[in-house]
Structure 1
């Protein structure tokens, strides 16, 4: 996330560092200002910025190993951009918060692993008083709660990743359950309108991840997350989904897959995060930025929704000791700068659109 001439970078890994604060007055020479620590068994790899507040997750790491010393959502005051000041915390009874959406206003949205639920569910957080964030409501797929009459298949992987909120609608990925469309009530609560899964067609777990609305075109760019290394598991792609009928989303195209020897380069190959057209950043209802792990950053044009085209890419060399690059997240600024992070040891890359 960018705050004037400062960017906040979340980190994967249980090594004691949660968020780095980096000055970019001269983008060609970024300067590390400070690093916010996290407790043992915890990472803080996602941040959101709006209304003078920085939100960060606390989550178990390594995943499914041990018990985190801290699990929840942290609220910082960033009136002084270079010096985030912790003012609030929402504890989660469970393994913590994974991903967040907050673009201002009263409510933030997050995925969380809570005791009593299978895999991640969606939570709505009331920030009316940022110093005392409150869990306002939950939404989960039937069968995720221990008390549900419905039952999920033992080998299913149904769980929330996160939502992107636009007005009174929210769009997200729900792993095996696919892409989901919600209405957003006045109290922030979510109500399911429609969904579309391609898990059966993919022959495994597609790990459907992000659903980005493309302006007013009634289209979603939807990524699956390539979790398995070296192209193992079900095929992961980027899908263009028509939501003219929100109750019945339908896939109309898939984005081209990068050509090359990426499956043999090692680690992960496939899509992950998208630039999410946040307020104040680069906005487009046609251009889509996607991180693709060892295939770097890919840029697509969806002007023809039936034939998305790749128009640019950036694939840096991996850092020393890392088999392949693993570009993980991306933010495109309105001034032409693009910020991309590596999942492992590559750090922060600052690019410029040309």
Structure 2
């Protein structure tokens, strides 16, 4: 058997590489879902691939089994898996360029896990669906750029009949709808990213509007409970992205997304937010920022996605896994909520011709395997604690 040659780490502490795949030379990896010994990996869209099916029976030697293409002008970079259904988005790509051939939500049957079969589609009139939350049950939640609204809003999707998904309801920030009496300020950046649903509550990021808390009502409808923004303090657009509830501790780990390259733009952080009074959320601490020459390495530096404690995966109300673009994967312990501390990190070398690594999304298995993607061409990295 041939000797494996894996990418080397430029920095690591407490984590080691198990396996790697460049996703058949189409390494613009994005969101990851696991189905036993298979992964479904979304793609940014730069190589015309929507979703890769990857065999990880031997995690040291992941194998690409299938790659689902996307229509022209479209990408399919987000995936969700539950109850035998795989959901994927269709959205305009490149962003703000051209007319996409397909915009909406695709439903696949994965009764044969290695061969997803498309069974349903929800068209969205506009630029499409961005990110989704679906952990089973009747309703899925997504952010979407729909005609008649400025930037992304939240939609609730009824999957009672997965062959015929329907739009159940919408929620938008006041001023986003073109018909609203008062429109959002031109310089604002208010738009939904996605929510994580826990019981009858949903938690999300809404860019300049900050972290948002919703009650979940009849037919999955969302109703705003409260929000907290640090846009004014940050001195620009923090792009608040993900809000992860930490079990029953009444705490949220909240990321801002580092969109601007080379450390330009407003400060981006991972925040710990106390929601013991959910009508008055308050920030109580910020996670430590990795130290090093990351701003000079190029491309994006800062937080992005978290492992979201999905059913069937690694679950913790204390340990937080975060992708940090050119600072790789960072792992934090929030046992002392006033002083979160970093306990592990892994930064792989960039692929040839790529200025810096750009680790984008992460999923941690119940068996401890950690799956993380690079959004440009690095592909899939499989790690474990060491």
TM-score (norm 2): 0.91
Match of 2:167?
135
Match of 1:26?
58
The answer to whether the Cα contact below 8 Å between 2:177 and 2:183 also exists between their aligned partners in 1 is no
The answer to whether the Cα contact below 8 Å between 1:230 and 1:268 also exists between their aligned partners in 2 is yes
2-side partners of 1:104 and 1:347: how far apart? 28
> How do residues 284-303 of structure 1 correspond to structure 2 at under 5 angstroms?
284-303=316-335
Is 1:212 aligned to residue 252 of structure 2?
no
- Where 2:295 maps in the other structure, the secondary structure is helix
2-side partners of 1:206 and 1:340: how far apart? 23
Deviations 1:292-344 (A, max 9, x none): 00000000000000000000000000000100000000000000100000011
Match of 1:114?
146
2-side partners of 1:306 and 1:210: how far apart? 20
2-side partners of 1:342 and 1:182: how far apart? 31
Match of 1:4?
36
1-side partners of 2:297 and 2:208: how far apart? 27
Is 1:241 aligned to residue 273 of structure 2?
yes
Deviations 1:154-186 (A, max 9, x none): 100000000000010000000000000000003
- Where 2:296 maps in the other structure, the secondary structure is helix
1-side partners of 2:111 and 2:371: how far apart? 22
The answer to whether the Cα contact below 8 Å between 1:328 and 1:340 also exists between their aligned partners in 2 is yes
> How do residues 131-210 of structure 1 correspond to structure 2 at under 5 angstroms?
131-210=163-242
2-side partners of 1:281 and 1:234: how far apart? 33
1-side partners of 2:47 and 2:125: how far apart? 23
2-side partners of 1:260 and 1:115: how far apart? 43
2-side partners of 1:275 and 1:188: how far apart? 23
Match of 1:67?
99
Is 1:345 aligned to residue 377 of structure 2?
yes
- Which of 50, 69, 83 is 1:37 aligned to? 69
The answer to whether the Cα contact below 8 Å between 1:14 and 1:42 also exists between their aligned partners in 2 is no
Name the stretch that deviates more: 214-223 or 13-22.
Answer: 13-22
Note the C-alpha offset of 1:152.
Answer: 1.1
Match of 1:47?
79
Note the C-alpha offset of 1:187.
Answer: 1.1
2-side partners of 1:151 and 1:114: how far apart? 16
**For the aligned residues, what is the CA RMSD?**
0.5
Deviations 1:254-286 (A, max 9, x none): 000000000000000000000000000000000
Is 1:253 aligned to residue 288 of structure 2?
no
Match of 2:343?
311
The answer to whether the Cα contact below 8 Å between 2:152 and 2:193 also exists between their aligned partners in 1 is yes
Note the C-alpha offset of 1:149.
Answer: 1.0
Deviations 1:80-99 (A, max 9, x none): 11010000000000000000
Runs of 4+ in 1 over 2 A off after TM superposition: none
Count of matched residue positions in the alignment of Structure 1 and Structure 2: 354
Deviations 1:73-114 (A, max 9, x none): 000000111010000000000000000000000000000000
TM-score (norm 1): 0.99
Choose between structure 1 and 2 for higher RCO, CA contacts under 8 A separated by at least 6 residues. 2
2-side partners of 1:111 and 1:3: how far apart? 24
Unpaired segments ≥5 residues, structure 1 = none
2-side partners of 1:169 and 1:136: how far apart? 17
The answer to whether the Cα contact below 8 Å between 2:56 and 2:63 also exists between their aligned partners in 1 is yes
The answer to whether the Cα contact below 8 Å between 1:110 and 1:162 also exists between their aligned partners in 2 is yes
The answer to whether the Cα contact below 8 Å between 1:14 and 1:40 also exists between their aligned partners in 2 is no
Unpaired segments ≥5 residues, structure 2 = 1-32
- Which of 310, 323, 334 is 1:278 aligned to? 310
The answer to whether the Cα contact below 8 Å between 1:212 and 1:276 also exists between their aligned partners in 2 is yes
